[in-house]
Chains A and B, each alone.
Chain A
C-alpha cells in the first residue's frame, strides 16, 4: 500500500511542477521575446512581472465562459480536456533523477513516476493522441477558420509523427533499450547528440511541428486563420488550450533532453566529480531543468526570428526531406552499431560522420531545389 501512496505523491508533485512550469514559461517566453525585440516585457504585476501568470490565470477564471449556439456542446467542452490530459500524463515516464533514500524510514524513492519497459513507445502513443483535442475543437466550434485549423493540425501531426518515431528509434538503438532510464544511463559516457547530431536536430524540428510551435504553428496561424482551432474558446477553456500548448513545449523539451542530451545526467566529462548526479542526487532535476530552459529558449528564439512556413511546404518538408533523412539515419546508426560490435568501439565515430554527411546532402538538395525554384520563377 505504501507504494501507492508514493506514486500518488510523486504524480502530484510532477503535475504541480509542470503546471508551475507552464505558468512561468509564458512569462519566460514573453520576457525573452521582448528582450529579442528591444522591448521590456511584462514587469508591472509583481516584482519584475513575476506575478503576471497569476494575473492571467485569475483573469481567465473570472472571464465569461461562452459556448457558441450552433457548436457541438459536448465535444466543445471535451476538446480542451482532451488536449490538456495527454500533455500532462506524457511526463509520467520521464526520469527526473536517480533516487534518494527517505530519511528515518530508510525507503528508497526513485525520481520518476514509472519506469516501464516500453517507455519510448508510451511517449509516441500519448503524443499521437494529443492531436484529438485540437481536431475536435476545430470541428465542434462550427467555425470555418477553426475547422481549417483542426484539419491542418491532423494532417501535420500525421506527417511528422513518422519522422519523430524514427528519431525515437535512433535513441532506442543507441541506448539498446526502450526504457528511458536505460537510455539516460547509456548516455553516461557520451550524450547521444554527439553521436547522432543530425538525429537530434530532426527530433527537435519534428517536435516543433508536433507541438505546433512557430514556424510550424499552422493550426492557429494568427495571420491566416485568426486564432485557428481555438477561435471560439474563451475563459478557462481557452486557458486549457494555452496550458496544453506550453505544457507540451516543456514536456517535449524534457523528452529531447532525455533522449539526446543526457537526461538528468551531468556533462559526460564531469563524471566522477562532485558535479555528478551520482554524488548528489538532487543535481539530477537541476540539470534537467537547466537543459530544458536552454532548449525552450531556442524554441522562443525561432519563434521570434523566422517566418512561418507554408502549409503545403510543411507537409512536403515532412514527407520529402525529414522522412527519408531520418530513415537514412536509422540505417546509418544500425551500420555503426554493427561496426562497433564487430570491429571495436572507435567505430562509433562512423555514426556522426556519416550522418553529418547525409544531413549535408539533404541541406544541399533542399537548397538546390529552392534555387531552381527561384530561377524558374
Chain B
C-alpha cells in the first residue's frame, strides 16, 4: 500500500469519526492497507495517529466482498455448498458443517452416527489447522518468523488428511446434507493417529518458543484489553469472548454433531488481553486434539449418509439395478430437492466464534435467502474500541489476536 497515501487523506468523509485534532492537522491520518503485510488480507484501517499512538482507528472492509449470499440464492441447496468453502478459507470444514446443519434442520434430515463422528474429527482438525495459521501469522506479525514456518509444517499434515478424505486440500465440500460425501479411506485412521502422536510435542515446542519468552510477553500482556460487557455488546464470540472471561462455547452449551459425547474443557481466561487470547487458543489446540482422539477411538461403523432418498443421492451400485434410484439420482442432480417455506438459524462454534447460518426456503429447490453470521465481522468491529491509546506496533498485535479472516468478514 505504501504510496497509497501520496495525497493527503481528506478528513471530510470521516469527520464524525476522527477527533478535532485531525481537522486542524495536529494528528496524522494514515492509511493502513488494503495491501499491508499485517492486515491479514485486504483490510484497510484508517488510523489517526498522534506520533505513533493510535487516537482513532476506522476499519474499512469490503475489499473482498464476493457476493456469496446473493450467489447462493441462484444455486440449488447442494450446489450452493461449494460457495461455503470459500467464505472463511481457514475453516472450510466448519463452514460446510454450518451450512449442511442448516439445510438438515430446514428439511428435517437425519444424519447417521458415523457421519457425525467424522464431522467432529474433521472440524476439530480444521480448528487445529486454523489456529496454526493464526499462531504462525501472529508470530510473523511480531517478527517471530520461524513460528510461521513451523506452524505451516504441521498444517500440511492436516491438509494431507483432508486431501485423503475429500481429494482437495482446502475447498473440501466434504460434508453433504445427510452425511458426508463418502466414507473415509482405510488410511484415514492411521494418518490421524500419526498426527495425534506427533502434535502434542510440537505444541510444546511452540510454547517453548513463545509462551514464556519475555519479548513475547512484553508485546502481549496488558495490550488490547477487552472486558466481557464490551465484548458482548459488540457481538464478540469465540476465543476472544472466552479470553474475556465468558464461558460460552456452542459445543458445550448447545451441543451439535454429537459433541456431548466427548470429554473436553473449554479454556477460559479472565484478563481479556492479547496474551489471554493467545493462551486460550493454544489451549484449544490441545483440547481439540483430545476430541479428535476420543472421536477416533469411538468411531462407529455403519453408513455415512442418511438413507432418505429424497435428499441424499443413492449409492452408485443401486443406480444400475433400481429404476427408482436412477430417478432419485437424476432429480437430485438436475432439479435439487425442495425445502419448506420457512426459515432456520443454525450456529456452530467455528475457530473464530459463533458461525451462524440463516437459511430461508421458499418451497423450491434453491435457498430464498442465505445469511452468514460470521464471527470475524463482529470480532473486527470491536477493534476500533480496544486499540485506542495503543501504539501502532500494538495494533498489529491486537489485530493478530483477533484472528480475523477477511473472507469471513466481507463474504
Contact = CB atoms under 8 A, between A and B. Distances in A.
Interface string A38-72: 11000000000000000000000000000011100
Contacts of B145: 33, 37, 303-304
A2 B133 CA distance: 64
B221 A226 contact: no
A232 B1 CA distance: 11
Interface stretch (B176-184, B211-219, B286-294, B316-324): B211-219
Interface in A208-241: 214-215, 217, 221-227, 231-232
A367 B212 CA distance: 11
B153 interface: yes
Given A223-B38, A223-B396, A311-B391, A215 B143 contact: yes
A3 interface: no
Contacts of B369: none
- Counting from the closest, the 4 A-B pairs by CB-CB distance are A377-B222, A308-B143, A37-B149, A307-B142
Contacts of B271: 377
Contacts, number: 112
A232 B215 contact: no
A37 B146 contact: yes
Interface in B1-51: 1-3, 5-6, 28, 30, 36-38
B374 to A, nearest CB: 25
Contacts of A377: 221-222, 225, 271, 273, 275
B144 A312 contact: no
A224 B218 contact: no
Where chain B touches its partner, the secondary structure class is: helix
Given A221-B393, A306-B213, A231 B143 contact: no
B150 interface: yes
Contacts of A101: none
A374 B3 contact: no
Contact of A36 (B146, B153, B222): B146
Nearest to A376: B222
A313 B220 CA distance: 12
23 contacts: A37-B145, A39-B149, A143-B3, A144-B5, A145-B30, A215-B215, A222-B37, A223-B141, A223-B142, A224-B393, A231-B2, A232-B3, A305-B144, A306-B215, A307-B143, A307-B219, A308-B219, A309-B215, A312-B391, A313-B218, A370-B217, A373-B221, A377-B225
Contacts of B219: 307-310
B2 A226 contact: yes
B149 A307 contact: no
Given A37-B145, A377-B271, 7 more contacts: A221-B143, A224-B392, A231-B2, A232-B2, A305-B209, A310-B391, A373-B218
B242 to A, nearest CB: 17
A38 B218 contact: no
Interface string B382-396: 000000000111101
A69 B6 contact: yes
A42 to B, nearest CB: 16
B144 A370 contact: no
Contacts of A36: 146
A148 interface: yes
Interface in A67-82: 68-70
Given A224-B396, A227-B2, A373 B222 contact: yes
A36 B153 CA distance: 13
Contacts of A310: 218-219, 391, 393-394
B52 interface: yes
B94 interface: no
Contacts of B164: none
A194 B146 CA distance: 32
Contacts of A144: 5, 28, 30
A226 B38 CA distance: 9
B140 interface: yes
A259 to B, nearest CB: 26
Classify chain B: how many residues form its interface, as a range.
35 or more
A231 B37 CA distance: 13
Interface in A352-375: 366-367, 370, 373-374
A226 B393 contact: no
A143 B2 contact: yes
B239 interface: no
A362 to B, nearest CB: 13
A70 B3 CA distance: 11
Nearest to A317: B218
B6 to A, nearest CB: 7
A128 interface: no
B139 interface: yes
A311 B146 contact: no
Contacts of A222: 37, 143
Contacts of A146: 2
Contacts of A69: 6
Contacts of B225: 377
Given A370-B218, A377-B222, A145 B213 contact: no
Contacts of A373: 218, 221-222
A134 B125 CA distance: 46
Interface in A130-144: 142-144
A38 B153 CA distance: 9
Contacts of B273: 377
A217 B143 contact: yes
A304 B392 contact: no
A148 B52 contact: yes
B48 to A, nearest CB: 12
A223 B3 CA distance: 16
A225 B393 CA distance: 9
A69 B5 CA distance: 13
A222 B144 CA distance: 12
B41 to A, nearest CB: 14
Given A38-B150, A232-B3, A377-B271, A307 B215 contact: yes
Given A68-B3, A231-B2, A307 B150 contact: no
Contacts of A217: 143
A215 B146 CA distance: 13
Given A223-B141, A223-B142, A311 B149 contact: no
Contacts of B221: 373-374, 377
